[in-house]
Amino acid sequence: PVEISVDASWEAVDGDFKLVHVSPDGAVATLKEEGRETVIPIEMEAGRNVVKMVGREARLEKLDIQFKGLNADGISAVYSSEEEEDSVHLTARIASGDATKQEYFEALPTLDEEEALEGFRRFLEQKTEFSDSELQEIFVYIDGKKAGDALLQAIREDGYPHPLQETIDNLMVWTDDDTTAALVEELTKEEYSFNLLEDLLLYLDSEAGEQCLEHYYAVGNRLTYSQYSDIEYMLDENVKNKLNAWMQEE
């Protein structure tokens, strides 16, 4: 057993309040019900021990709780909440295939960026599919380039279905231009519509836009003169000359 102590005090304004200790076997022991300052020893057996506050319609003032002995050799980890405990173990559970996608999204706001990114990678490796709205939520909490590169790697390794054009259209505000252009290069002719090309040229820088335009032609799509006139104002002279040459060859 490992012994720690808790020094606690408070002023109860209303309701009931107490500190309890939950042992690894589930037994619950009341540590303190009175508010005056007291140092209480706690003997902890091996396993998960919980010290928590329990109240019923409680209103308190000057609550002060301090622990001593938490750095003891016999204590492997200390968590300030169940959410923190869950977030620490989540990535390992994802890697082993034990966590669900729902658990991941519930914990996402509490994960640091590297934990969130690692979880995203593990799901992609397991060929988990994400809706556009789910991907957008992930990109809120993870740097756009890092998350985009993870998605791109999964696509290139055939570990994730090729993105629909709507997916790229919805994600381009979150990813950097180079990653967006690289994702576009994974689209087939059927997936790559003129409407998407138009959005890409409007949003991306000229270099990434040119890359997307070249892929539009590389997969077999072509521009009508009407479509060309719709995007001409977004193209620099070099791209216009290149595009005019392509169109004259048709």
> Structural domain boundaries of the chain?
2-68, 82-218+238-249
Residues 6+ apart with CB under 8 A from 91: 111, 115, 118, 119, 122
CB 60 within 8 A of CB 34: no
pLDDT in tens, the chain (250 residues): 899 999 999 998 999 999 999 999 999 999 999 888 989 999 999 999 999 999 999 899 999 999 999 988 889 899 988 888 887 888 778 878 788 999 999 889 888 899 899 999 999 988 898 999 999 999 999 999 999 999 999 998 876 676 778 889 999 999 999 999 999 999 999 999 999 999 999 999 999 999 999 999 999 999 999 999 999 999 999 899 989 888 887 6
Return the residue matching tokens 């980890």.
77
CB 195 within 8 A of CB 163: no
Round to whole Å and give the CA distance between 120 and 122.
5
